[in-house]
Every structure is written in structure tokens, then in C-alpha cells.
Structure 1
């Protein structure tokens, strides 16, 4: 199974009021394991960077001045993400900016049925706790000591580790039921009911061969016959 964990940095909170995406970082997961492939790009937003936003991510007007426009990197970005589910923290925010930029360039938007929101998963798994990326890193022992400021690729790398832990960690197969339900619930609950989304695709796995062999069942029957006055015969 291929998934893309991604994060964005922007000039503000709402693309409908003129804010733009200035950075995107994507991490490829194969069967919930980082493959080593990623996509990372900075963009010239064609507007001034507000001080409040620069204080969060450190991306200044001077730094972004020679960076490409979003439209110039779209083919490379779309080729990287393909048709994989897209995982983000507070995914409505990142999807909002991604789809705004795609639509502005004349490209089809990414369907909301592909969205997996780790914030929704975290709230279901840890009700009443703090659910920021920093808080989840602390909860799961993910090292973020090198995170001085927000950065799309760095935050995507941290989120990829948190995402795996939210779904059961390295022994993810032991929590298959929880993880599958959590992902589906996070996807469904984040999709607007009035939108164009289709039902999310469910992922099923083949049952594991845990049944007893005929020899084991025969030995079990012999053992049962040695029991005196078992409860189920009373």
C-alpha cells in the first residue's frame, strides 16, 4: 500500500483571502514504512510575507524571491503523489491550500476521499489530550529536537513517524482492527457531506493462517478426555 504524508507552509490561514502556499513537503510510505523517496519545493507566492507567518516558518520575501511559481512544479508534484491517499495533520487546511493552488493553475483538484487526517485519528485515540504535532511527538517518543521552526518536509517526516505510531507502531499488525477503522473514520468524518467526494476505499488484508492443524486438534481432543468433571459438562 502506498501513501503520501505531506505538509505545507503558507503566507496565512485562508487562500480565499489571498494567502498562498510557499512550501510543500511529501514523504512516500510503502506499507507504512518510509521508502526514502520524497518531494520538496518552495514557491514564490507573488505577495509579501506577513511577519506573523515568517515568524512561524522563517521563509522571507528575499528567500522566496527566486523560487518557482506553484504552477511550474505541478507536473512533478502530481507525478509524485499519483493516486495515493494523502495523509496530513489538520488535513482540511493543507487540502484547502493544495486544491486552491491546483485550481488556480487549471488542474483538477485532489478528491477529498483521498484525505486521511491524523488530527481526527489522534482525537479518537486520545480524547481530552493535546493533539498538536509537538504533543504527539512527545507522546510517542519521536525526536523533534532539530525542529527549531516549522518546515514542510521536516514536519512531514515527523508526521510520518507519528502516523505509524497512531496506527499501532512497528507492530501495526497487532492493532489491525483499530488502525483500519481509525483511518476510515478519519477519512469519512473529514469529508464534507455536500462535496463531490466518493466513499473512501477500504483496505482489506487476507486472513492470517492461525488455524490449528489436524494433529493439534487430535492432541487437544485427547487432552480434553483427561479432564475430570469439566465445568461445561455440569
Structure 2
């Protein structure tokens, strides 16, 4: 497959993984950005308290998301945007945890995604003192963006993966993960199926 993926970044209202309040998406096809999206999200009741610390980091307030769609309403749009793409995120465990936590909080099925972590790709591509998103993005030639703005962070994440792919001469995401020895993760039904195949009765024979 060519270098196709969707970079994703979430901001949250508090420490709860279900408290997504903003998401940025950048679709990459054949190594080029072809579409972008950004939505504010109204966190579900019980996860909707905005902590002072989080607001200080991303600047999003309860007033900004009061009329925004909830996760249950937004999820179909997110899935339509990403299509069959693999997801890429910087410190992907956090962002995949938000998808899982937000879906479970509203009683929605966790969507089926494979994903790769750009933080891990950066660690195996560059020699840096820090692999935080702004530093890794600078190594990829992507500078002067607003860190903790979800769309800008997704743009930076996409830039890292595209640059790393060119540097490793990898023509698709699967090959890049193989070259850099980065694990391809999964959430949703695909993750359940793969876990069953590894640990189920057939795996013991």
C-alpha cells in the first residue's frame, strides 16, 4: 500500500480518557496531505469537568464546547473521514485510549483501527535530546506550529511520518513500521480477534 494514513490528535478536558474536547485529523494519501478536519467535542456527563491544568495547556473552555457534538454524534463523521486508513498519533496509546474511553462512556462500539505511534518512529529515526512532538517535528522540518492545538499537532505528526518514510525509503506505513521495528497496534474488533487468535484454544494446538 502507498504511504496512506490519517494522523489524529486529541485534547481532553481532564485526566479521564473519555473527556475528549477537541480532535484534529489530517489525511495523507501517497505521502501528501489531502484533507484536514477539526472538531470541538462536548465531553459526556461524568467526564465533563474541565481541569484548570488542562485548560492552561490547550486553552479550550467549557463554553467553547457547550454546543459542540458529543462523541456519539461525532464518531460516524470521524469514521467517514478516516475510512480504512491506519491511524498515526504521537504517543498513540493516549489517543487510542481516548477513542476507546469516549466510545465506552457513551455506549458506542469501539471502532476498528490499526495504528502506529509516531513517537516510536521518531525514536528510531532521529538522534534527539527529546522526542516530544515539537522537537521531533522540527527534525522533520515542520516548525512554528501551535502545540496542543489538535489540528496543528496532527499536522506535525503527519509530517514526522512522511519525513521518516522518505528517510527510510519506505513506500508504505507497514514497511516503515517494519524497518523501524515499531509495533503495529489495533483497537476495536480487530484487536479482539487478534487477541483471540493468539490466546484462544487453536493457539494452544
1:5 aligned to 4, 7, 12, which one?
7
Alignment CA distance shift 1:168-1:71 (3 Å): same
Deviations 1:77-110 (A, max 9, x none): 1111122100000000000011222233333323
Q: Which runs of 4+ in 1 moved over 4 A?
A: 177-181
Matches within 5 A, 1:5-154: 5-15=7-17, 19-35=18-34, 37-45=35-43, 46=45, 47-111=48-112, 114-126=114-126, 129-144=129-144, 146-147=145-146, 149-154=147-152
How many Å separate the matches in 2 of 1:20 and 1:119?
Answer: 23
Is contact 2:122-2:160 (8 Å) kept? no
Q: What is the Cα-based RMSD across aligned positions, in Å?
A: 2.6
User: Which structure: larger Rg?
Assistant: 1
Q: Scaled by the length of structure 2, what TM-score is found?
A: 0.78
Instruction: Indicate whether 1:158 and 2:156 are aligned.
Output: yes
Q: Which sections of structure 2, spanning at least 5 residues, go unmatched?
A: 196-205
Is contact 1:168-1:179 (8 Å) kept? no
Q: CA deviation at 1:119?
A: 0.9
Q: CA deviation at 1:38?
A: 2.0
Instruction: Count matched residues.
Output: 185
How many Å separate the matches in 2 of 1:6 and 1:99?
Answer: 14
Q: Scaled by the length of structure 1, what TM-score is found?
A: 0.69
Deviations 1:168-195 (A, max 9, x none): 25xx7xx23897544243234x569xx6
How many Å separate the matches in 2 of 1:129 and 1:181?
Answer: 26
Q: Which sections of structure 1, spanning at least 5 residues, go unmatched?
A: 200-234
How many Å separate the matches in 1 of 2:150 and 2:172?
Answer: 28
